[in-house]
Amino acid sequence: MRITVVKEFTFDAAHNLPNHPGKCKHIHGHTYRLQVGVRGSVAPETGMVADFGILKDIVKMHVVDKLDHTFLNDSLDLFYLPNGAPTAENMVVWIVKVLNAFILEEWEGLVKLHFLRLYETPTSYAEWRGW
C-alpha cells in the first residue's frame, strides 16, 4: 500500500507580471504556502514512508531558502522560463523539477515526489500531482 505524507512551508516573495492586463502587472508581494507530498510504502523498520525532518531539510535548502524574501523577477534564471513570468504555475513546474532529483536520491527511488501545491493567496493555488 502506498501512502502520501505531506510537509508544509511558507515563504514571502514579491513579483510582477509585466504582460498581465490587471493589477498583477504592478510589483506586489505574497506569503506563499507550499505543500510537498512524497509517496511510498511504509518501511517495516521505521513505520514511516519518509522522515518529515529529512523532507523539510530538502525543501528548505533547495526551494524555500532560494525564494524567501526575494523579488522573483530577479530570480528568473532559477526558473528557466521562456516567457519570463514568475506565476504560481511556472513556480510549480520549477519546484517539481528541482525536488524530483533530490527526493529520488535521498530515498533511492523508494519514495517519489507525488504532490505539490503552491498557494499564492489563501484561496488560490497551482497544483501538480504525480504517479
- Encode pLDDT of 58-117 as tens digits: 999 999 999 999 999 887 666 666 566 899 999 999 999 999 999 988 998 899 999 999
Catalytic residue among 20, 26, 28, 69: 69
Active site residue 120: yes
Q: In this predicted structure, what is the pLDDT of residue 18?
A: 86
The string of DSSP codes covering 24-57 is: GGS-EEEEEEEEEEEEEEPPTTTS-SS-HHHHHH
Q: In this predicted structure, what is the pLDDT of residue 76?
A: 60
Active site residue 24: yes
Task: Tell me what the pLDDT averaged over the chain comes to.
Answer: 92
Q: In this predicted structure, what is the pLDDT of residue 19?
A: 86
Which domains occur in the chain, in start order?
2-129 (3.30.479.10)
CA distance 109 to 87: 30
Active site residue 26: no
pTM: 0.92
Q: In this predicted structure, what is the pLDDT of residue 15?
A: 94
Statement: residue 126 has pLDDT above 80:
yes
Catalytic residue among 24, 30, 62, 106: 24
Higher-scoring residue by pLDDT: 83, 22: 22
